[in-house]
Amino acid sequence: MLFLLVPVLLIASSQKNARPTPDRPYSLPEAQKVLRAIDKIELENQQPWSGPLRSITVTESELNSYIAYRIETEKEEIMKELGLKLFPKNRIEGKIHIDLRGRDIPSYIRPEMDIYFSADVLVSGGAVKIDLQRLFLGDEPIPPLIIDLVIAISAKLNNEQATSINDWYELPFGIKDIKTQKGKAVFYY
């Protein structure tokens, strides 16, 4: 749900200076910067390397533009927004906007909801896990089980196998570690 596989897209030169607009709530140049960073990581991982881990730093704004770009271009049907705030020591906060309108869902599930969370990003052995510390639906605290329910509904609607927020996920693109700072994430590969 949170991590991302995308090829670099060729963008017409007239779009290179695109900025956030009501139609596009993100910066296309920032999203492209992350796409170029992914290409660089993938390319460099194809070469033998025995030195220390290399790194690429991505700002919070660039990461959020990339996420919004992915949601838009992949026409995400359920998660309509994911915004992150990055803090030191792999602490993150975020907002997820879920839209289940028009879906066959249980009556006790709101068809549209904003979920807010704070979490630690745990990284070990090339895998990542989001360790939820606090979770809110609007301003009401909720148990993490709700996220698993949303994941299960999404998986069912997409004919995929359900996972859990408590699962470990393989880091993409050959990334070995992630360290966050205030407003930045450093990806080691």
Is 175 domain-assigned? yes
Instruction: Give yes or no for residue 1 having a pLDDT over 50.
Output: no
Q: Tell me the two tokens of residue 60.
A: 């919070």
- In 140-183 the beta strands, taken as DSSP E runs, fall at 140-141, 169-170, 177-181
Distance CA 122, CA 120 (A): 6
Which of 3-12, 29-38, 114-123 bottoms out in mean pLDDT, i.e. has the lowest? 3-12
- Give a yes or no: residue 131 inside a domain: yes
User: What percent of the chain lies above the pLDDT cut of 90?
Assistant: 68
Residue 6 within any structural domain of the chain: no
Q: For residues 148 and 100, what is the distance between their CA atoms, to the nearest angstrom?
A: 15
68-91 burial string, b = 16+ CB within 10 Å, else e?
bbbbeeeebebbebbbbebbeebe
Please report which confidence band the pLDDT of residue 145 belongs to, taking 50, 70 and 90 as the band edges. Answer: confident
Residue 167 lies in a domain: yes
Nearest to 130 by CA among 139, 121, 143: 121
Looking at the domain assignment, is residue 47 inside a domain? yes
Number of structural domains, the chain? 1
pLDDT at 17 over 90: no
Q: Is 4 within 8 Å of 172 (Cβ atoms)? A: yes
**pLDDT band (50, 70, 90) for residue 153:** confident
Q: What is the pLDDT of residue 46?
A: 93
Q: Answer yes or no: is 10 within a domain.
A: no
Domain that holds residue 98: 20-188
Could you tell me where the DSSP H helices lie in 15-162? Answer: 28-45, 60-73, 145-157
Q: Does 9 map to a domain?
A: no
Question: If pLDDT is split at 50, 70 and 90, which confidence band does 165 have?
Answer: confident
127-137 and 169-170 beta bridge pairing: antiparallel
Within-domain flag for 173: yes
Per-residue confidence (pLDDT) for residue 149, from 0 to 100: 83
Which span out of 15-19, 55-59, 143-147, 173-177 was modeled with the highest average pLDDT? 55-59
Question: Residue 67 is encoded by which pair of tokens?
Answer: 């996420």
Average per-residue pLDDT for the chain: 86
pLDDT at residue 51 tops 90: yes
* Cα–Cα–Cα angle for 59, 64, 66, rounded to 5 degrees: 95
